[in-house]
Amino acid sequence: HQKSECFAWGKCLRLTRDEPPMQHFPASKNDAAGNPFPERASRSVKGSIMDKPDLTLYLGGTRSGKSARAEARVFQRADGPVLYVATAEARPDDPSMTERIRRHRARRPENWRTLECPLQLGEHIGTALAEFRNTAGTPTVLLDCITLWVSNILFSLPDPEELRAFEGAVRRETEALLDVIRSSGCQWVVVSGETGLGGIEPTRLGRNYCDGLGLANQLIAAQAREAFLVVAGRLLKLEE
């Protein structure tokens, strides 16, 4: 097909009316140490996405519909237990965030397990997935969202304005998460914000945050079988 000339996150944008059907491939055997689902590991496919984990990334701006799209994909394709990983924290001084969290919780089925995890995603998700070892079907992890997680990393540092330390922390945490994604054999749906399309932030802290989030998004997108940009509830597929 004819590809667009517009590029972002190392991928090019192509308009699509809806998600294309995902190909399903049999799991191959992998007895790597530490993998809670060795019989499901290395769920790779042929072609340009060889050896990539079963990972789909949804990017978008505020209220773009990215979370709803991600949840719809899980509803449609999950064939086992679902682990919903929330990185947002409800705080008494932020009623709007509390209301947003309430709406997200109301949309989720009662049989989805929720893990609230503001930091160290790789470690905590790996521990939670071990509980699904003997369950029927392939577990699905819905992670929402990378945007707040990167913000949590930023403000966990002694000096949030030190860009090198922040980028180093983002890279380490993201690689630890990707290690779990690659070894788990689970289906993964990840949501993240795209904050880099509105111009350059006027403050140093804002610029650092956008740089860190952009780094995390690129690292995750590079491992994704499919990635979408969500605009007004519509999908733009991001090609390699």
**83: Cβ contacts below 8 Å, ≥ 6 apart:** 112, 113, 114, 115, 125, 128, 129, 132, 139, 140, 141, 142
Residue 220 CA to residue 218 CA, distance in Å, equals 5
| Cα–Cα dist 208/222, whole Å | 21
DSSP state of 44: -
Structural tokens at position 205 = 């802290």
First-to-last C-alpha distance (Å) of the chain: 13
- Of 9, 71, 23, residue with least CA distance to 223: 9
Q: Are 140 and 189 in contact (CB under 8 A)?
A: yes
Active-site residue, 124 included = no
Of 1, 24, 104, 124, which is the active-site residue? Answer: 104
DSSP label at residue 19: P
CB atoms within 10 A of CB 90: 14
DSSP state of 33: T
Q: Return the active site residues.
A: 104
